[in-house]
Structure 1
């Protein structure tokens, strides 16, 4: 009987273990501080944020020196990063932009200007000593709606220190996104009134 019980316990320990669940992480920027809601006379059409090839999925990318890019096995973004950034722009940044209204494509409102954002890079980079930082790069194109004349085009790049974990990457990405929002807001306010 004891032998049979021991064999049963050994047999049970050989059964495959259920896979550990995936952890979903969000990409969020804190509310803009000390920025009153803006206003203006013009209407801005904000295109959905797009992303370069490898950033179209939900994998959280990292790099340990060199050109090889990997992704966390048990952590994923809640949605593709471009969608998360798009949502954050509309919820966090849009109320502070120097426009009467910010509309989406397909909205019947007549827009004066258009803003397009492309996510070019979002990855956690580890150094030889085990530290890490998140690298975020976005291309912004600002143009008139009717003629398509370019009012401005700018590459925004950020490096944000991060804890060496997937959660640390998500937090640092949110902090870098907050810096991007501050810089984009200043850029648009300084050039507002053109076109």
Structure 2
């Protein structure tokens, strides 16, 4: 019995001397964008912005990339700080406020009365390595609806493709931020013009 106790202690001591395998630190990336406020402030309706949704494959914090048809993969050591829909939600509100087309822009689940509701869906957010340099593709579908009747007013798909400065996830995140600014600026202008009509 004593021999096995010594053997266990020796194994623990030996385990303490062995080098612990190092794991690579995961880097967290963010989606960010700045929007220039419109010089004119329209007296449009209040707009309720629903939390964006995402197509399957894009509703995780994994940073997606693509090399061949039907193959979606994720970087092992780089992730988004949150899912793309949750990161886009406050940016959508900022872009719509900057458009100057609405009396108020409210993020769901706000309970204030609004005339229009905006629903969006991330159809694609990925770094495409099928070309060189790689490029980031962002595709976002938007639908404006009348809050009272729940009937769609207008629907449109917005897309941007931005080349990456280098073929790595950090440069991919930079390109993604440029794509977000382009898409959300265009979406906000469209929403403001639609609301005016």
| TM-score, normalised by the number of residues in structure 2 | 0.83
How much has 1:84 moved relative to structure 2? 0.6
Question: Which residue does 1:61 correspond to in 2?
Answer: 64
Aligned equivalents of 2:189, 2:99: Cα separation in 1: 10
For 2:68 and 2:195, how far apart are their aligned partners in 1? 41
Note the alpha carbon deviations across 1:96-144, whole angstroms, 9 max, x for none.
Answer: 341111123342321111111111100000135x420011111100011
Task: Map 1:32-51; keep pairs closer than 5 Å.
Answer: 32-33=35-36, 35-36=38-39, 38-51=41-54
Structure 1 residues 162-173: aligned runs within 5 Å: 162=164, 163-173=166-176
Secondary structure of 1:33's counterpart equals coil
Cα distance in 1 between the residues matched to 2:173 and 2:142: 22
In structure 2, the gaps of 5 or more residues are 1-14
Secondary structure at the counterpart of residue 174 of structure 2: helix
Deviation at 1:88, TM superposition (A): 1.4
Which residue of 2 is the match for residue 146 of structure 1? 148
| Deviation of 1:87 (Å) | 1.9
- Asked if the contact 1:38/1:95 (under 8 Å) is kept, the reply is no
Please list the CA deviations of residues 14-65 of structure 1 after superposition, one character each: whole Å capped at 9, or x if unmatched.
7342211110000112x22363363424111110111112111100011123
Distance in 2 separating the partners of 1:104 and 1:28: 17
What residue ranges of structure 1 are gaps of 5+ in the alignment?
A: 1-10
- Larger of the two Rg values belongs to structure: 2
Whether the 8 Å contact between 2:53 and 2:122 is mirrored in structure 1 is: yes
Q: Indicate how the Cα distance of structure 1 residues 106 and 159 shifts in structure 2: closer, same or farther if over 3 A, else same.
A: closer
Is contact 1:25-1:75 (8 Å) kept?
A: yes
> Which deviates the most, 184-193 or 11-20?
11-20
Q: TM-score, normalised by structure 1?
A: 0.84
CA gap of 1:93–1:44, structure 2 versus 1, over 3 A, is: closer
Equivalence for 1:100:
103
Q: Count the aligned residue pairs.
A: 182
Q: 1:122 aligns with which of 103, 106, 125?
A: 125
Q: CA RMSD in A?
A: 2.2
Q: Specify which of 74, 87, 90 is matched with residue 84 of structure 1.
A: 87
Q: Say if 1:37 and 1:95, in contact at 8 Å, map to a contact too.
A: no
The equivalent of 2:186 in structure 1 is 183
